[in-house]
Amino acid sequence: MATLGMLGCSSREMKSVMPGDQKADRVVVVKSKHTMTLMAQDRILKVYTIALGRGSSGPKERTGDNKTPEGQYVIDQKNATSRFHLALHISYPNAADRKRAHDAGVDPGGAIMIHGVQNGFGWLGSLQHDFDWTEGCIALTNPEIEEIWRLVPVGTPIEIKP
C-alpha cells in the first residue's frame, strides 16, 4: 500500500506544435480521462497521462478527502525543493471552493500541486500513472514534470474538469 504513494504518470504526445521557446498559455486537466493538456493559442502542445488523488470521484470538498479539485485555477508558484520532483502550485481553493467548504462547515484544504514522483522513487517512471495515488495532486513522471516546469510559467490558467 505504501508503494502506491510513490507511483506517477507518463505522456502521450499528440502532433506536437512545440517549438523550443513555445510556452503554454493554458492547461486543461480532464480527470475522467486522466489527461493533462498544455495549450498555446488554442493549439495542443502536448497531452500527458496523469495520476490523480486517490479519493473518490467528484471535486475536492475538504482537507483530507484526497480528491483532486475541479474548477478554474492558476499556476501561482513553483517549488524546486518539494519532496516530490519539482512542483507547480495550483491556486486551490478558489472563491467557489471556499464558499462550498464554509457552507458545509469544513476546511477546504490546500497545497494542491502538479508534481513528479516522490524524491528517491523516480525509477518507477511511467508505472506511477497506473494508480491514483496522490492526496489530491496531479502527478507525472520526473522527465515530464521537468518538461512542464519549462513550458508552464507562473500565472498560467489551469482548468480541471470532471
User: CATH no. for residue 114?
Assistant: 2.40.440.10
**Of 19, 12, 20, which Cα lies nearest the Cα of 47?**
12
Cβ proximity of 69 and 137 under 8 Å: no
CA distances from 160 to 26, 90, 148 (A): 11, 10, 16
50: containing domain: 2-161
What average pLDDT does range 64-77 have in this prediction? Answer: 97
Instruction: In whole angstroms, give the CA distance from residue 1 to residue 62.
Output: 23
What is the pLDDT, as a whole number, of residue 17? 46
Q: Which residue has the higher pLDDT, 14 or 135?
A: 135
Say yes or no to pLDDT of 15 above 50: no
Query: What are the pLDDT digits (tens) for 72-113?
Result: 999 999 999 988 889 999 999 999 999 999 999 999 999 999
Say yes or no to pLDDT of 9 above 50: no
Average pLDDT along the chain: 85
**Residue 33 grid cell:** 480521462
Say yes or no to pLDDT of 13 above 60: no
Instruction: In whole angstroms, give the CA distance from residue 6 to residue 1.
Output: 10
2 backbone φψ class: left, alpha, beta (φ>0; ψ -120 to 50) = alpha
Say yes or no to pLDDT of 66 above 80: yes
26-35, 126-135, 149-158: lowest mean pLDDT where?
A: 126-135
Categorize the per-residue pLDDT at 119 as very low, low, confident or very high, splitting at 50, 70 and 90. Answer: low
What is the pLDDT, as a whole number, of residue 16? 45
Instruction: In whole angstroms, give the CA distance from residue 132 to residue 54.
Output: 5
CA distances from 156 to 87, 89, 121 (A): 14, 11, 28
What is the pLDDT, as a whole number, of residue 120? 56
Q: Which residues contact 157 (CB under 8 A, 6 or more apart)?
A: 25, 26, 27, 72, 73, 74, 75
Instruction: In whole angstroms, give the CA distance from residue 159 to residue 71.
Output: 6
How many domains, in total, are found in the chain?
Answer: 1
Q: Per the confidence metrics, is the pTM higher than 0.85? A: no
What average pLDDT does range 8-30 have in this prediction? Answer: 65
What is the pLDDT, as a whole number, of residue 83? 87
